[in-house]
Amino acid sequence: MRIFEPHAHMFSRVTDDYERMALAGIRAILEPAFWLGQNRTSVGTFIDYFDTIIGWERFRAQQFGIHHFCTMGLNPREANDDRVNDDVMAILPRYLEKDSVLGVGEIGLDDQTPKEEKYFLGQIELAKQHELPVLIHTPHRDKKKGFERMIDLIKDSGFPMERVLLDHGNEETIKITKDLGLYSGFSIYPHTKMDPRRMVSILKEYGMERMIINSAADWGISDPLLVPKTCIALEQAGFPDEAIEQLVWDNPITFFEQEGGRLDRAELEKPANIDRRETWDGNSVLRGQDPEKY
């Protein structure tokens, strides 16, 4: 089973995770730009972070045969922070043209403040200008209201629904989103929130169309193997291989595929390939091992 993991913050994961993910069939990863666990105080740290996820992080993934992509954006939490919000908006156009950037995200609402809405809409406009889809983070608190508010904002902006991926959904939100024509994302977590068993029952009820699952792995308790683990749960529940492949391969690729060739379906058929002797800024994950024998 080939898997496109459409939401994992590998920046905060160790190299072993890449190896385990590759062995579990994960062929491509999309890393949305996000909040780093604490607030940044200047735009410089955003720039270095953005440069890392188009540079070193991509290089690190490729050494395990994994294609690495990302989305760029100002996350809702820091949209509230005047030390960085406008400056990040000013540098985004440049980063949105990078080869491995497949969308604007994660953007959206968190505490549902007026500032969050302002920068959310500003980034919807950027997505239009750069002809990119948007990956939307939904609030963890007051979720239903947040979902409804975001859908209203998107509708008013005239942004095409089929280019919207509304992430971190659950049994409640799918009732709101199922008929809107957008993509519904579900983050599977180990103990709390959405687990593989709950995911299976949602998919039994609603089918695979425009459904996307991810691990949202980051620096918290999370498991980058939850997409492959959910694949097993789906198989056990009797889903045919084609349906599972549609969910974990075709759907995310169809969503992020676009004009201009940044995501080439044919390229993904082969594992990423890089000369293992290469290093990034003098840094190699090989630690002196022989690249031929590794």
The residues with which 49 forms a beta bridge, in sequence order, are: none
Q: How far is the CB of 215 from Zn ion (least distance, A)?
A: 10
- Name residue, tokens 């699952």: 213
Quick one: 22 or 272, whose CB is closer to another protein? 272
The binder of another protein chosen from 25, 55, 122, 190 (CB under 8 A): 55
Q: What span, in angstroms and rounded, lies between the C-alpha atoms of 150 and 108?
A: 7
Where residue 25 falls (left for φ over 0; alpha for ψ -120 to 50; beta otherwise) is: left
Q: How far is the CB of 65 from another protein (least distance, A)?
A: 17
Task: Classify the C-alpha dihedral 8-13-17-22 as positive or negative.
Answer: positive
Which residues ranging from 140 to 169 are in contact with another protein (CB under 8 A)?
none
The yes or no reply on residue 67 touching another protein (CB under 8 A) is no
Q: What span, in angstroms and rounded, lies between the C-alpha atoms of 255 and 196?
A: 22
The binder of another protein chosen from 42, 90, 94, 205 (CB under 8 A): 94
The yes or no reply on residue 293 touching another protein (CB under 8 A) is no
Which residues ranging from 17 to 76 are in contact with Zn ion (CB under 5 A)?
34
Quick one: 206 or 280, whose CB is closer to another protein? 280
Q: CB under 8 Å to 26, separation ≥6 — which residues?
A: 3, 4, 5, 66, 227, 228
Quick one: 139 or 239, whose CB is closer to Zn ion? 139
Quick one: 9 or 58, whose CB is closer to another protein? 58
Could you give the count of Cα atoms lying within 13 Å of 13 in the half-sphere of its Cβ?
A: 26
Quick one: 47 or 161, whose CB is closer to another protein? 47
The yes or no reply on residue 262 touching another protein (CB under 8 A) is yes
The yes or no reply on residue 129 touching another protein (CB under 8 A) is no
What values do phi and psi take at 264, rounded to 5?
-105, 110
Closest-CA residue to 162 (of 130, 134, 202): 134
Where residue 37 falls (left for φ over 0; alpha for ψ -120 to 50; beta otherwise) is: left
Q: Which stretch binds another protein (CB under 8 A): 108-116, 162-170, 175-183, 258-266?
A: 258-266
The yes or no reply on residue 285 touching another protein (CB under 8 A) is no
Report yes or no: 65 and 273 within 8 Å, Cβ to Cβ: yes
Could you give the count of Cα atoms lying within 13 Å of 153 in the half-sphere of its Cβ?
A: 24
Report residue 120 as tokens: 């959310």
Closest-CA residue to 222 (of 4, 12, 26, 3): 12
Q: How far is the CB of 276 from Zn ion (least distance, A)?
A: 29
Q: How far is the CB of 286 from another protein (least distance, A)?
A: 12
Q: Which stretch binds Zn ion (CB under 5 A): 73-81, 141-149, 208-216, 271-279?
A: 208-216
Q: How far is the CB of 128 from another protein (least distance, A)?
A: 16
The yes or no reply on residue 86 touching another protein (CB under 8 A) is no
The yes or no reply on residue 49 touching another protein (CB under 8 A) is no
Q: Which does 279 bind (CB under 5 to 8 A by kind): Zn ion, another protein, none?
A: another protein
Closest-CA residue to 214 (of 191, 230, 235): 230
Residues of this chain that interact with Zn ion (CB under 5 A) are 34, 216
Residues of this chain that interact with another protein (CB under 8 A) are 47, 51, 54-55, 58-59, 93-94, 97-100, 260-262, 275, 277-282
